[in-house]
Amino acid sequence: MKSILFLLFYLAPHAFAQTGAPKADAPMPPPPVLELVVLGSGGPGAVGRASSSFVVLLDGIPRILIDAGSGAFARLGETKLSLDRLDRILLTHLHIDHSAELPGIFKARAVASRGAINFHVFGPSGAGKFPSTKRFVDLLFGKHGAFAYLADFSAPITIVTTDIGATLSRTRKLQTLLAKDGLKITAIAGHHDDAPSIIYRIDYKNRSVVFSGDIDAAGLDNLRSIADHCNLLVFNTVVLDRPQSAEALYTLHTPPKSIGEVAASAHVGALLLTHLNPAIDQAHDDVLASIHRNYAGPVTFAEDRLRIAP
């Protein structure tokens, strides 16, 4: 019941206001200072959801893109959000279902702009089969990249890419990526088996949201650290509690019982479950029951195009 009320509240914030047509001269309420739009609530499977992607609005203006999974481009168009000031991109890791739509979204931003664009891209350092984010961006948009033409195709584009250390450390030290005009973005290493991954936190005017990215058990201590007392924790929810999912998947993801434990120990205000698949969709009651064994706060299952204000 809590999850249903939570979803209704944010999907229709005025649903419980007085009935009747609004007065013509009634002032429009101000937008939330911090708002999240889900572009993609799914994972790599072609199951009707776009893959992982989110836009964060500050004072009603889309400013930050978190991940750019398959299908996010179409969902972005459906939301009719302005791209004029969408200039910061936070990549949790470089799996296809989190990064494949970056070229399309960059080009959409370019053709929607009348002036120069300065993209600031953040993502994990490289390891093993995975390039660093700098190398990834250069392979796409660099001088000899696959889409080098985009640099001056519609508007002059500058891309500044920052690699974030993705190696786990006992100190669990947070890295500040930006602190300006009331906006603070911090990051810490996550863990997603062999894929270097990053956890992000966005704070703005006393509201906060944390993105776990795909995360396994090794990264949960870092997640607890960065999510401490956040208003909303966006948690990628891919597996059921053991032994209901394939054992190999637990080397990549976190089951509901552990999600509830992390949310409770980090004192988070609310949970948004995303990166969903049919197994999770068919087991909502079991997932909620498992999480609520430890965590008493509201829990919402994400859907593409969902808007939520932490």
**Average pLDDT for residues 151-178, to the nearest whole number?**
91
> 């519609």: which residue's tokens?
154
**Average pLDDT for residues 6-21, to the nearest whole number?**
40
**Average pLDDT for residues 161-167, to the nearest whole number?**
96
Rounded CA separation 271/191 (Å): 20
CB atoms within 10 A of CB 48: 10
Q: What element of type H or E holds 104?
A: helix 102-111
The whole-chain average pLDDT of the chain stands at 91
Nearest to 117 by CA among 93, 152, 143: 152
243 Cβ neighbours under 8 A, 6+ residues apart? none
- Cα dihedral 40→156→135→41 (10° resolution): 0
Greater confidence (247 vs 209) lies with 209
**Average pLDDT for residues 226-235, to the nearest whole number?**
98
CB atoms within 10 A of CB 274: 28
Q: What is the pLDDT of residues 30-72, one digit of tens each?
A: 999 999 999 999 999 999 999 999 999 999 999 999 999 999 9
Greater confidence (84 vs 233) lies with 233
Sign of dihedral through CA atoms 74, 97, 212, 261? Answer: positive
170 Cβ neighbours under 8 A, 6+ residues apart? none
What per-residue string of b and e applies to 8-18 under the rule 16 or more CB within 10 Å gives b? Answer: eebeeeeeeee
- pLDDT value, residue 24: 56
- Adjacent-strand bridge partners of 62: 57
Q: Indicate whether 26 pLDDT > 50.
A: yes
With a pLDDT cut of 90, the percent of the chain lying above it is 83
Residue 149: what are its φ and ψ, rounded to 5°?
A: -60, -20
Rounded CA separation 205/148 (Å): 38
- pLDDT value, residue 198: 98
- pLDDT value, residue 148: 96
Q: Indicate whether 234 pLDDT > 60.
A: yes
Lowest mean pLDDT among 152-161, 199-208, 210-219, 255-264: 152-161
CB atoms within 10 A of CB 26: 8
